[in-house]
Amino acid sequence: MKKALNLLLIVCFISWIPLIHGCKKKPEIPTVTTTAVTAITVSTATSGGNVTADGGEEVTARGVCWGTATNPTVSGPHTTDGTGVGSFTSSLTGLTPNTTYYVRAYATNSVGTAYGNEVTFTSSPIVLATLSTAAVTSVTSTTAVSGGNITADGGGSITARGVCWALTANPTITNDKTSDATGTGSFVSNMTGLQPGTTYHVRAYATNSAGTAYGNDVTFTTTAVSATLTTTAVTGVTINSATTGGNITSDGGAAITARGVCWATTADPTISNDKTSDGAGIGTFTSSITGLQPGTTYHVRAYATNSIGTAYGNDLTFTTLATLPTLTTAAVSAITQTSATSGGNVTANGGAAVTERGICWGTAANPTIAGSHVASGSGNGVFTANLTGLTPGTNYYVRAYATNSAGTAYGNQVTFTTSPVALATLTTTVVTSITSTTAVSGGNITSSGGGTVTARGVCWSTATNPTIGDSFTTDGTGTGNFVSNISGLTAATTYYVRAYATNSAGTAYGNQLSFRTNPEIGSLTDIEGNIYVTVRIGNQWWMAENLKTTKYNNDTSIPNITDNTTWSTLTTPAYCWYNNDISNKATYGALYNYYAANTDNLCPTDWHVPTDAEFETLEMFLGMTSEQAYSWEWRGTDEGAKMKKTTGWDAGGNGTNLSGFSALPGGYRYFLNGEFYLAGTLGYFWTSDEIDSKGIYRLLEGSHNDVYKNSTTRTAGKSIRCVKD
C-alpha cells in the first residue's frame, strides 16, 4: 500500500512539469518611441527616444539613426546613447545645411533591433555673415586704412572679405574694393587711388555661400593737396609789358581763392615777387604783366592758392624788346695772300643777349653779314676772327658785327690789302657713297695761288668750317681733281666737309658741303616670327618699330583684353590692338599695360623694355642736356622731332627722324575707362620703371618737337620699343 502511494506521487509530479514550463513568456524585440527634433542648426540637431519595454531581454544599445531617405536604420548614420530602458537624448552632427532628414530612435537586445516612430526635420539654411566696419584711419590725399570684424559666418565659410567704397552711401563690391583673405575675425584694409579733398563712404563686406553681407556705412574725407596748373605761353612782348596767364586743371580738393602770375629776373618766381591777381576758381585765365625793363630776360609762373597753400605752374622765360648793341672793330693783322685776322669789342649789348658776333668784309665799303662774314661766339667783350678765302693783292673793307633780338649792329670800318701771293683756289666735290661710317668726296684745285700745292685732300667735322686741325685725308699733290675716301664716321650724324690745298702761302679750303651719315640698321625677329627694323643710336640698339608680339619670349601667351571695363580694372599683364582692330598691328604694333611692360620676358631674347635711364641716354645723345633729361614733363628742344618719323603723323606733326627711331603715333588706351584715343596724334612708350606705384613713360606729340616724361596708372595701354641688352 505504501509502495503504491509513492508511485502515484511520482506520476503526478512528472505530469506537472510541462505545465510549469508552459507558464514562462517567449522573449521579443524592445519597444521604443522617437523624441521630437529640437535645437536645429545648419549642421546639428537634438533628438532621442524612450525605451518603454526591453522585450524580456536586456537592451544592449540604443540611440537614433537618420538619413535623407525614409525609414533610416543603424546601417546609416546613428548615435549610441547607453543601454537599458527609459528616456535618452541624442545629438545629430555632420548635417548638410537646408536639407530634410528622417529620424528614428532604435533599441537593440538579443532578439534584434527595434525602431521608434519616424520624425522629420530640415536643417537650417546658411545665412549672411554678421560684421561691422572699422573706423577709418591714416587718411592721406589718396589713401586711407579701414577694415572690419566678422563676428558670425552665418553657418558657411567666409570666402572673401574686405572693404568697398564710393562717393555715395552704402557702397557695394561692384564699386572699388579690397580683397583681404578669408574667415571670420578682424581684418585691416588699405584703400588706394583716392581723390584729394573728397568725401567717401566705406563699408566692410564678407561673402559666404548665402551671399555678401555689409557692415555699417562709415564716411571720411581725404586731405586736400596743392592745385595743379600750367603757365600760358608769353605773347605780346614789348619793351615794358607782356601777356601770359595759366590753366588750373585741378583745385586739389579745396577752392582756389587767388590766382594770377608772378615774375622776376631769377628762376622760379613766387608771389613774394611781382604778381597779378586774376580772380579765383579753376580753368584758364589771362594776365597782363607791366612795368618791365627793356632788353631784360624774365621768368614767369602762374600761381593758384587754396587752403593748402600756393602752387605754381611751369617756369617760362621771355625777354623784353631791346636796342642794338654797341661795338668797335679791331685793326686787321696777320695779313696773307688769302687771309687776315681782325675782331672787335662789344661794349654794350643793348639790353638783350648778343647771340652772335663776328666780322664781315668785302671789296666795297660798309660790308654787312649779307656778304662774307664769320662768327666768333656770342656775348659782350673782345673777340678775334679770321678772314679767309681772300684774293691776293686786293683792298678789303672790314666791320665787326653783333646781333641781339633787336637786330645787327656794326662797328667802325677798317681797310687792309692782302699780300700779293695767294692761296690756292679750289672747290669741294659733292659727297657720294654715304654709309653709316664712310663717304666719298674730293676736290678740284683750279689755281695753285702762285705756289706749289704740297698737300691736298678733304677735312671734316661735326662743326661748320672744318680745317686740317680736324679730321682730314691726304690725297697727293698738285692741282686738278682728286678723290678722297672719308672713314671713321659716326652713324646718323651731320658732318661738314671742305677740300683743302696747301702751298707756301698757307692752306686754302674749298666750299663747305654738309652730309648726314646713314643710321646703322639691323633686324630682329620675335617669338611669333614678327620681324622688326632695328637702329643703332649712339651706343644703344633700339627697335625702329613698335612691339607687336602676343606672346612672351618663353612662348607663353599674353592675355588679349578687349572689354573696356575689364581692361581698366586689371592688375595682371595684357595687350590689345588700337580700337581692338588687328589691322592696326602692322603700323602701330600692340598697346600693353604696365604689368606687361614690367615683365622680364616681354621683348625678344637679349632685348628688354627700356628703363627710364636708357631713355635719358637716348635723349641726351640727341642733344638734350642732363638737367633736361632728368626733369619731368616737356623737356629739351627738338629731340622729339628727331625721334618722329617724317610721315604718318597728323598734319603738321611729322618729325625729321634724324635719329632713325621712326616713332609713329599709336595712340593710347585710357586707364579709367578702357577707351582708345588719339592715334595719329600721340605716341606713348612705356619704360620698365615706376614711381609711386605708377609706370614711367615717354610721350611724343604732333604739335611738340620736345619729349614729355611722366608716370601714370598701370592699367593704361601704351606702345613699347625694346632696347638691346
* Model pLDDT for residues 103-152, shown as the tens digit of each residue: 999 999 999 999 999 999 999 999 999 999 999 999 999 999 999 999 99
Distance, in Å, from the CA atom of 543 to the CA atom of 528, rounded to the nearest integer, reads 16
Element (H, E) at 63: strand 61-67
Q: Which of 69, 96, 122 is the last residue of a domain?
A: 122
C-beta separation of 56 from 28 below 8 A = yes
3-state class (DSSP) for residue 408? strand
How many angstroms separate the Cα of 263 from the Cα of each of 268, 299, 312, 558, 704?
8, 5, 11, 52, 25
In this model, does residue 5 exceed pLDDT 90? no
Query: What SS3 state is found at 404?
Result: strand
Q: Is the pLDDT of residue 415 over 60?
A: yes
Lowest mean pLDDT among 5-19, 535-549, 608-622: 5-19
**Which cell numbers in the block locate residue 455?**
698737300
For residue 450, pLDDT over 80 is answered with no
Question: Are 304 and 365 in the same domain?
Answer: no
**Closest CA relative to residue 66, chosen from 111, 39, 29, 96:** 96
Indicate whether 1 belongs to any domain.
no
Together in a domain, 490 and 539: no
The CB-side HSE value for 226 (13 A sphere, CA atoms) comes to 11
Mean pLDDT, residues 325-338: 93
Structure confidence at residue 21 (pLDDT): 39
Same domain, 636 and 677: yes
Global pTM value? 0.41
Is residue 311 predicted with pLDDT exceeding 90? yes
Higher pLDDT, 516 or 420: 516
**The pLDDT value given to residue 719:** 98
Same domain? For 527 and 669 the reply is yes
Residues 640 and 510 in one domain: no
Which residue is associated with the grid cell 687771309?
339
pLDDT of residue 518: 87
Is residue 102 domain-shared with residue 191, that is, in the same domain?
A: no
Q: How confident is the model at residue 391 (pLDDT cuts 50, 70, 90)?
A: confident
Q: Which of 357, 390, 365, 253 is nearest to 309 (CA)?
A: 253
Which of 498, 516, 534 delimits the end of a domain? 516
Q: What is the mean pLDDT of residues 238-259?
A: 94
Is 23 within a domain? no
Q: Please indicate, yes or no, if residue 14 is contained in any of the structural domains.
A: no
Percentage of the chain modeled with pLDDT above 90 = 89
- Using only the alpha carbons of the chain, give its radius of gyration: 48
Question: Does residue 494 contact residue 516 with C-beta atoms inside 8 Å?
Answer: yes
State the chain's mean pLDDT as an integer. 93
714 domain residue, yes or no? yes
Q: In this structure, are 663 and 546 located in the same domain?
A: yes
The label of the residue with cell 591777381 reads 277
Q: What is the model's pLDDT at position 20?
A: 38
**Residues 431, 491: one domain?**
yes
Q: Is residue 275 scored above 70 in pLDDT?
A: yes
**Does residue 239 surpass a pLDDT of 90?**
no
Number of structural domains, the chain? 6
Domain for residue 42, yes or no?
Answer: yes
The mean pLDDT of 485-510, rounded to a whole number, is: 93
- pLDDT digits 0-9 by tens, 586-645: 999 999 999 999 999 999 999 999 999 999 999 999 999 999 999 999 999 999 999 999
pLDDT beyond 70 at 3? no
> Are 646 and 672 in a shared domain?
yes
Residue with the larger pLDDT of the pair 394 and 218: 218
Asked if 580 and 712 sit in the same domain, the reply is yes
What is the DSSP secondary-structure string of 122-183? EPPPP---EEEEPPPBS--SS-EEEEEEEEE-TTS---EEEEEEESSSS--TTSEE----SS
Q: Which residues contact 718 (CB under 8 A, 6 or more apart)?
A: 591, 592, 594, 597, 668, 669, 684, 685, 686, 697
Q: Examine the pLDDT at 7 and tell me if it is beyond 60.
A: no
In tens, the pLDDT along 38-51 reads: 999 999 999 999 99
Q: Within a domain: residue 402?
A: yes
CATH number of residue 80's parent domain: 2.60.40.10
Give yes or no: residues 657 and 565 share one domain.
yes
59 pLDDT higher than 70: yes
Phi, psi of 618 (to 5 degrees): -60, -45
d(CA 640, CA 350): 34
Give the pLDDT confidence score for residue 24 in this predicted structure. 52
5 lies in some domain: no
Q: Residue 429 sits in which domain range?
A: 425-516
- Indicate if 372 and 246 belong to the same structural domain: no
* Overall average pLDDT of the 544-556 stretch: 97
Mean pLDDT value of segment 513-541 = 94
Is 312 part of a structural domain of the chain? yes
